[in-house]
Structure 1
Amino acid sequence: MNLSTITPNHKITRLFLMACILGGMSLPSQASQRTSVAAEDGIFTFWKKKKTETESDTTKGKDKDSKLKKYDEIITSDAITKKGVIDIHRVKKDYYFEISDSLLNRDFLLVNKISKVPSEVNELGFNKGINYQNLLIRFEVDTLTEKIWVKTYHPYYEGKAGDAITQSVEDNYMPSIRECFGLACFGKDSTTYVFKVNKVFDGSEKSLNDLFGILGMPGAAVKDLSKINEVKSFQKNLVVKSLLTTKAEGITVTVEVTSNMVLLAEKAMKPRFADRRIGYFTTKHFYYSDDQQAVENREFVNRWRLEPKSEDVEKYLAGELVEPKKPIVYYIDPSTPPQWRQAIKDGITDWQSAFEKAGFKNAIIAKDAPTDDPDFDGDDVRYSMITYAASNQANAMGPSVVDPRSGEIIEADVIWWHNVMTALHSWIRIQTGVIDPKARDNKFSDEHMAHAIRFVSSHEIGHTLGLMHNMGASAAFPVDSLRSRSFTNKMGGTAPSIMDYARFNYVAQPNDEVVNITPQIGVYDKYAIAWAYRWIQEDTPWDEVKVLSQMIRKHENDPLYHYGPQQDGKNTIDPSAQSEDLGDNSMKASRYGLANLKRIVPEVEKWTCEEGESYGKAGKMMMGVIGQWFTYANHVVANVGGVYLDQPVFGENKSAYVHVEKAKQKDAVKYLIDEVINIPQWIANAEIYKKSYPIKESVIGDIEYAPTTLFRDLHARIFYSLLEKDRLLRMQQNEAENGDNAYTLTEMMSDLHQGIFSKTIKNQKLDVFTRQSQKNFVDVLIISQNKTLEKTSKKSLQNQEAACCPLHQHMPLLCDYGVKSRALFHDHEQDDVSSRYANRNLFYATMNRVSDDVSVKRGELLRIKELLLKKVKIADEATRFHYQDLILRIEEALHTY
């Protein structure tokens, strides 16, 4: 679920915005957005703040020889003027900005948003409210050449005042000229400058608005099919609305966009240094000084500016709750169906209790967007909006616009796709239908759905407050405690953080009488908000570090306050920080979950079918059940070769790496053999398959999957995951550290052999599913061994860029509300994006050809061959042919004819 930052760099943004949206995720959970500013804009009083403009380039040069026209010749009586931070004049078809010299070299944040889209773009997941490009710009006047320069700045580099190296910082991080305008005339009193701006808003130039390039669409805007629609100017910002059209491959696409130009405060907010023990989106910053022996790399927490009013400072410091100078206000889109508005508002105001822990009351407010104010515009960055999108997307996201000089969130949005309710419905029915009769119908009551909407609202608002996913939160609750009515009522929901993907309580059993089964804002969330938003009177962020660290140290050994970052879905290392899991033991939780799934399968027809309708809904629900079954399997797999990760600092009695206990790893393999590899009849041959195969919805229509085909593919995925090289190398590291106390490669292979070939060992006839399982296992052994022996491929610059460039680390991530069947189909884009949220890059892979996994895989293939040679004369013909085939495959792979 996400959060996230959009970088000003077009190339980077294009790559990752498409990865996020086309992957069906979280534009970026994460959810802040990045811009750029000059290195010379110091933030702290003792850091140098030096003006770069020269007198000759700005206020001088208004000489008598200028051939510029007079003001009245440009801004004629036909002009329609909007007064504001920058006056905007419309003279027939031309648009002019008039900027005061007091605003030259001031920081403006340019924020480009989508306002309206055609169906072709809607289907790609681009909708109203999405912020696709941010730039931090400054205007400079060059009267000698009679031009207005627009420069972009990167704010991430700063030199200490008075130090020699500061000049080098200015020289090595200079601003770039992004656009220029011809100076049309001076203002009436010669303190303002007038210039024509049509070209950057009507599609002629893409320097300040690269819509189609960023969205990955071929071609640029067609000027004759594009235009400026509307302009507005206010005290601190201006708004320009445009229609931009492109043509490509016979398709014409027109998108309405809104460009905001916001004047930022002269003095940026005091930043707060991030700490990896608590999960916030961040903005990078690099400090240079003469006394360093290494550049100081820092990350600023992305957060709103909450400060007590001057008259309330003493009360605040004395521990009294006070109202902030400026509360955080969210407006509900008028397009939101009336029955959901209060639930969304409640999800917002539920965070008030968290802000009270930071010392503020009424800090976060929800309002209906006014419908009678002509100046109100949901795409105006003065307003944070919950934007409701009519779309088939089953998702939501919560990005923010951030001042990169300090990490201050200046505006936030939640994009709420209408179809997210289909995902909620699927989850709730499959995960809680057994224990809650209200969750069994094809359509829930408004009250029941509103309860789930409130949870999604709170989660997405959490992202807009700066919070990242905390996938480690759910591991703080013992599995059996989730079956306790008193425990769940006391703790609230399924995890101590709503920023986990803890979903709904699938552990509770029918007779447990647990009713508090929905994720809620918890202990960790309140602690995290208090840590980031507590107003501290210290002068600099360095002065705050000790205070903030003490806040964390108070809870260093309490699992309720633990932060476990989101991991790469293809290579989960820490099984305690997984998406969509519950409790502190994956095997125990999954066995409870399976018990409920077994109860559901016989009820699928009854719960879904209606008189005169097809069995399509039953097929889709069954695919959801299989998706949940497979999700449990993936949770269990992560324990094999798993490592619990932490972020200890000096003085804490913690380990950074602790291998999962041997007994747990062995139990994980047993679970996989019993419940996944040897496919249970309750899911392999369900009665409902006589009426409908499992059905997956897709853009080309519903796809019905034959169970044998579906389970064959799922088996392959489990085996590839189990034998993945990094997992096996982690197991070798465990053996090197812990010897006999480690679950070794040879032990795992022996356990798998005994489980997969148990019927073969007993000389029994094999059914179709068992034959498929054995073939998959042998095939994966052969292929993964061959890949291990291949030479390492050369990495491309593009791949390295994503790993190394700091701008890539906080792209917006869509929260994943896809229905459960999505887990059955590999999604490379999803995994690539989610991997950027793992703040650990543990490297195990090395000379793969000389690692033990090659020996173990070959040894297992030889053991299988030896077994099959003994059993190949079995009477059952299908089984005999199967053995003969496997023997030939192994001999060919090992060249042992």
Structure 2
Amino acid sequence: MREKAILCNLKVIVALVLFLVGPISVFSQKNKKKENNTEIAKDSTSSKKGKKYNDLVKKGTVKKGLFNIIQVKTDVYFEIQDSLFEREFLVVNKLSQVPFEVNDFGLNKGMNYENKVIRFYKDTVAKKVWVKSYLPKVSSPKEDAITASVKDNFSESIIEVFDIETKNNDSTSIVIKVNKIFDGKQKSFNDVLSNISFGGSVQSNLSYIESLKAFPKNVVVKSQLTTSVSEGGPALSVTLGVTSNIVLLDKVPMKPRFSDNRIGYFTEKHWYFADAQQAMVEKELITRWRLEPKKEDEERYLKGELVEPKKPIVYYIDPSTPKQWRKYIIDGVHDWQVAFEKAGFKNAIIAKEPTAADLDFDIDDVRYSVITYAASQKSNAMGPSVVDPRSGEIIEADIIWWHNVMTSLQSWMRIQTGPIDPKARGNTFSDEHMGEAIRFVSSHEVGHTFGLKHNMGSSFAYDVESLRSKDFTAKMGGTAPSIMDYARYNYVAQPEDNVTAITPKIGEYDKYAIEWGYRWYANNDNERLKLNSLITLHQNDPIYFYGEQQGEVIDPRSQSEDLGNDAVKASEYGLKNLKRVVDNILDWTYDKDQSYYETAKLYIGTIGQWQLYNRHVLNNIGGMYLNVTVHGDNKQSYVPVPAVMQKRAADYLMKNVITIPQWLFFNSILDKTNPLKDSPLGPYEYTPYTLSRELQCGILYDLLSDDRLLRMTENELYQRNETKEKVFTVNELFKKIHQQVFAPTILNKSLTILERMTQKNYVDILIVSTNKIFEKTEPKKTVDLHTLSMPQLCTYMQDGEMIRNINQSSLKRITEVTSDKKGELGKVLQLLKSKKNTGDQSTQNHYTDLIQRIEKALSNTTF
């Protein structure tokens, strides 16, 4: 669950900022005390040459490390050794403190918001140090002629300059004053406000450097930076705590491993130029840790023995994590040991709490990968990494764990497993039951920090009926072959199945992906050939299928929150369990003398789950299986969802959406409460008529979306004669909807309120979506359906994670979509005119209204 937090609305920030900024001092009292790595500098010589240097260090304190840090009162100096000039450094900026209003928008401690590669250059003539930055994404052989052109066309940019204040006594280092890059005066090293989409500028008079640390390969500088916010009212101050790490990168980057689209890793793009080319080569480097056997173990490793890595991957648990959850978070990390053993390493990953031995432990120090616990109302978790862009090497990982993630876990478990698991029914779970859920989220997020992307197609590998098997689920462990899928809990299993393995676990795909990414090969091995052979070995087994995360779902195999290989069957089983939840909501949420808040929250959660099932099914209509293919694998790249599946999906929607389920929207729960969702303005209630109308509209609007209908048209056009496979056409879809929506009209019946609502929704969507093609009206504004769905975690996509884009919607005005939609409007108009005098008065009023709407739309001269 990786994402970048962005502040979308500054208005809320104004309300509570006045209490934020306490007394400001340049350095806290504790920082005035001598630290372990701090010594009072002594004047070692009185030579004229070094007098200024000696005077400087004599007045202040020196912290020795990558750069010696000289602190004289409020002035901060870096002493840079000559050997470090023109070396590559990575600047890593993180948040270390946030005020209430910023927290409320999901921006929290531990978030890495800006990284850049820099070099320092010494200019003895001008007596300055220039700092230049560049994107290390281009390479060429040193001996090739084109390398000169590469250097000129992908040059560095100057981002900062410092005066050389003095040099040390033997002239092997120089000293520069660095206050301006850390106290907010300059944005060159740290542009926090722009990177969090905050805007404005830092007020240097209300900002200061808080603390400084120096270590052999990095320096750590913490600052308090204040900005002024004025959003329709008086200017107020907001102060952010930020930490800047300057990290020395290795002279020789890690050997990169190139990505393969058949397996899911985050990547760094890289361009390669060479004289022998006829075109530039673009490759993507996967992000991964540098995991290698010790020199003395290489032979044993290559023989197939498990060995310990030269440097294991270590995660520290934030000391602010509640004690009862620490064990489960650690277990979630260690669950990956089995996957790294598949890659040949034992004890490759370690999770632990910091101890007294970790004297320098600091969450914001990039030497430590930390699972940071954020006190926040946000219900989420994510696992980003700091990466060396030259090679894809993961340097450090930061898992952000929001306190309220447990609210999402509880909602999932109650709704998805409550019917089969009594432990998942109450308003509060036992620590053990919640702990197991926390363990699952920990494993998922740690998977991201190994470089693994979401594999939304993994759950499609399991037959739906297998998820009802106690033996199968116990053997396979969980709901999908990959914990990197959003295959949450087993909502398919019925009470009589006695299934107990209902929580996602590390699966076979995860082991395979880690082996592919982390198996070590000696330099003389043909790594590319062996990696390709590993994929080829598994390419026909659905357990090892990788399905990309999608925006608009085109491939229904790769969907969020779904289970099994048949969305219709899985959703039908899910509805049976959902009915059981609705029947028991009042009992499960009962708490004497308490309000119906928990009841209302669980109720809206069940409605969100119903809508989730609808979308899983809907995406099969006009769906296309998108296979990542290579020459020689004898696979089709584009395979339409079978027509029979599309028809079954349409029938499901006719039964469960076009016909609003009264058991869900109109039941005894409404005697006590409406469905309720929390909002920034407080609890927000939805009346059942309004909610059912909006959700039905959303499904119908997406069902008749232009892109979906265009895919169906493409499929019909491209039908292969040799396969003789029938396709599901647009006209067949309209016929099904028409017969369902207007069934009581055809039979001359009076319409119920819900039947009139459905007909209005259908006609309105045809009119609005058709006008939209001709840019006559604004796009239909429907309710934000994600706000009513089950809670989602880790919904972001990291830089480098690509969504597959297929252009099917150019020049919609001259496609069959307009003809089909206007044709259906004409059929509806003809039917309504013939039936306008049937039914009761409300029905006739309804028909008159629809006739007028359609006639106005069809007579529009824009058409």
TM-score by length of 2: 0.91
Q: Cα deviations across residues 657-687 of structure 1 (Å, max 9, x unaligned)? A: 1000001101111101101111011012121
Pairing partner for 1:503 from 488, 491, 509: 488
Amino acid paired to 2:217: K
Pairing partner for 2:509 from 515, 524, 532: 524
For residues 532 and 578 of structure 2, what CA distance do their matches in structure 1 show? 44
Q: Return closer, same or farther for 1:399/1:116 CA change in 2, 3 Å cut-off.
A: same
Quote the residue 1:199 is aligned against: 180
Quick check: 2:423–2:433 contact (8 Å CA) kept in 1? Answer: yes
Pairing partner for 2:285 from 296, 300, 304: 300
**Mapped pair 1:555 → 2:538:** yes
Offset at 1:833?
5.9
For residues 859 and 481 of structure 2, what CA distance do their matches in structure 1 show? 55
Quick check: 1:68–1:184 contact (8 Å CA) kept in 2? Answer: no
Matching of residues 187-586 of structure 1 within 5 Å = 187-249=168-230, 250-370=235-355, 373-538=358-523, 543-568=526-551, 571-586=552-567
Amino acid paired to 2:533: Q
Quote the residue 1:852 is aligned against: 816
Report SS of the residue matched to 1:163.
Answer: coil
Q: Return closer, same or farther for 1:821/1:564 CA change in 2, 3 Å cut-off.
A: closer
Quote the residue 2:629 is aligned against: 648
Matching of residues 172-191 of structure 1 within 5 Å = 172-191=153-172
**Mapped pair 1:603 → 2:568:** no
**Mapped pair 1:704 → 2:685:** yes
Amino acid paired to 1:869: K
For residues 646 and 239 of structure 1, what CA distance do their matches in structure 2 show? 46
Quick check: 1:566–1:834 contact (8 Å CA) kept in 2? Answer: no
Q: Return closer, same or farther for 1:437/1:821 CA change in 2, 3 Å cut-off.
A: farther
Quick check: 1:71–1:188 contact (8 Å CA) kept in 2? Answer: no
For residues 264 and 741 of structure 1, what CA distance do their matches in structure 2 show? 59
Quick check: 1:107–1:136 contact (8 Å CA) kept in 2? Answer: yes
Q: Cα deviations across residues 362-420 of structure 1 (Å, max 9, x unaligned)? A: 00001102357542101100000000000000000000000011000010010000000
Offset at 1:208?
0.7
Q: Return closer, same or farther for 1:373/1:308 CA change in 2, 3 Å cut-off.
A: closer
Quick check: 1:186–1:194 contact (8 Å CA) kept in 2? Answer: yes
Q: In angstroms, what is the RMSD of aligned CA positions? A: 2.2
Report SS of the residue matched to 2:429.
Answer: coil
Report SS of the residue matched to 1:675.
Answer: helix
Quote the residue 2:716 is aligned against: 735
Report SS of the residue matched to 2:834.
Answer: helix
Quick check: 1:17–1:214 contact (8 Å CA) kept in 2? Answer: no
- Give 5+ residue unaligned stretches, structure 1: 4-15, 23-66, 794-818
For residues 302 and 662 of structure 1, what CA distance do their matches in structure 2 show? 40
**Mapped pair 1:166 → 2:130:** no
Offset at 1:537?
1.1
Q: Cα deviations across residues 51-78 of structure 1 (Å, max 9, x unaligned)? A: xxxxxxxxxxxxxxxx998443652422
**Mapped pair 1:890 → 2:849:** no
For residues 680 and 595 of structure 2, what CA distance do their matches in structure 1 show? 20
Amino acid paired to 1:81: V
Pairing partner for 1:822 from 763, 784, 787: 787
Pairing partner for 1:685 from 657, 663, 666: 666
Report SS of the residue matched to 2:219.
Answer: strand
Quick check: 2:50–2:168 contact (8 Å CA) kept in 1? Answer: no
Offset at 1:830?
10
- Give 5+ residue unaligned stretches, structure 2: 11-47, 779-783
Quick check: 2:220–2:245 contact (8 Å CA) kept in 1? Answer: yes
Q: Return closer, same or farther for 1:374/1:227 CA change in 2, 3 Å cut-off.
A: farther
For residues 892 and 835 of structure 1, what CA distance do their matches in structure 2 show? 47
**Mapped pair 1:866 → 2:854:** no
**Mapped pair 1:127 → 2:91:** no
Offset at 1:93?
1.3
Quick check: 1:631–1:823 contact (8 Å CA) kept in 2? Answer: no
Offset at 1:187?
1.2
For residues 761 and 50 of structure 2, what CA distance do their matches in structure 1 show? 79
For residues 515 and 64 of structure 2, what CA distance do their matches in structure 1 show? 40
Quote the residue 1:18 is aligned against: 6
For residues 767 and 345 of structure 2, what CA distance do their matches in structure 1 show? 61
For residues 329 and 637 of structure 1, what CA distance do their matches in structure 2 show? 43
Q: Return closer, same or farther for 1:241/1:539 CA change in 2, 3 Å cut-off.
A: farther
For residues 484 and 524 of structure 1, what CA distance do their matches in structure 2 show? 21
For residues 143 and 539 of structure 1, what CA distance do their matches in structure 2 show? 44
Offset at 1:886?
0.5
Quick check: 2:7–2:107 contact (8 Å CA) kept in 1? Answer: no
Q: Return closer, same or farther for 1:154/1:720 CA change in 2, 3 Å cut-off.
A: same
For residues 159 and 311 of structure 1, what CA distance do their matches in structure 2 show? 33
Report SS of the residue matched to 1:18.
Answer: coil
Moved more, 218-227 or 322-331: 218-227
For residues 357 and 544 of structure 2, what CA distance do their matches in structure 1 show? 45
Matching of residues 627-646 of structure 1 within 5 Å = 627-646=608-627
Q: Cα deviations across residues 612-647 of structure 1 (Å, max 9, x unaligned)? A: 111121111110000000000011110000001111
Aligned residues: 811
Report SS of the residue matched to 1:593.
Answer: helix
Offset at 1:823?
4.0
For residues 259 and 463 of structure 1, what CA distance do their matches in structure 2 show? 23
Quote the residue 2:63 is aligned against: 82
Amino acid paired to 1:94: D
Quick check: 1:567–1:834 contact (8 Å CA) kept in 2? Answer: no
The alignment-based identity, stated in percent, is 54
For residues 193 and 625 of structure 2, what CA distance do their matches in structure 1 show? 43
Offset at 1:875?
3.4
For residues 20 and 741 of structure 1, what CA distance do their matches in structure 2 show? 48
Quote the residue 2:655 is aligned against: 674
Offset at 1:716?
1.4
TM-score by length of 1: 0.88
Quick check: 2:6–2:107 contact (8 Å CA) kept in 1? Answer: no
Report SS of the residue matched to 1:511.
Answer: helix
Pairing partner for 2:97 from 106, 116, 123: 116
For residues 226 and 799 of structure 2, what CA distance do their matches in structure 1 show? 34
Offset at 1:824?
4.9
Quick check: 1:628–1:820 contact (8 Å CA) kept in 2? Answer: no
Offset at 1:422?
0.3
Report SS of the residue matched to 2:718.
Answer: helix
Quick check: 1:113–1:130 contact (8 Å CA) kept in 2? Answer: yes
> Relative CO higher for 1 or 2, CA cutoff 8 Å, sep ≥ 6?
1
For residues 379 and 9 of structure 2, what CA distance do their matches in structure 1 show? 12
Quote the residue 1:626 is aligned against: 607
Quick check: 1:673–1:755 contact (8 Å CA) kept in 2? Answer: yes
Amino acid paired to 2:846: H
Quote the residue 1:148 is aligned against: 129
Offset at 1:220?
1.1
Matching of residues 655-804 of structure 1 within 5 Å = 655-738=636-719, 741-790=726-775
For residues 381 and 667 of structure 2, what CA distance do their matches in structure 1 show? 34
Quick check: 2:5–2:107 contact (8 Å CA) kept in 1? Answer: no
Q: Return closer, same or farther for 1:79/1:834 CA change in 2, 3 Å cut-off.
A: closer
For residues 21 and 649 of structure 1, what CA distance do their matches in structure 2 show? 46
Offset at 1:726?
1.0
Quick check: 2:50–2:169 contact (8 Å CA) kept in 1? Answer: no
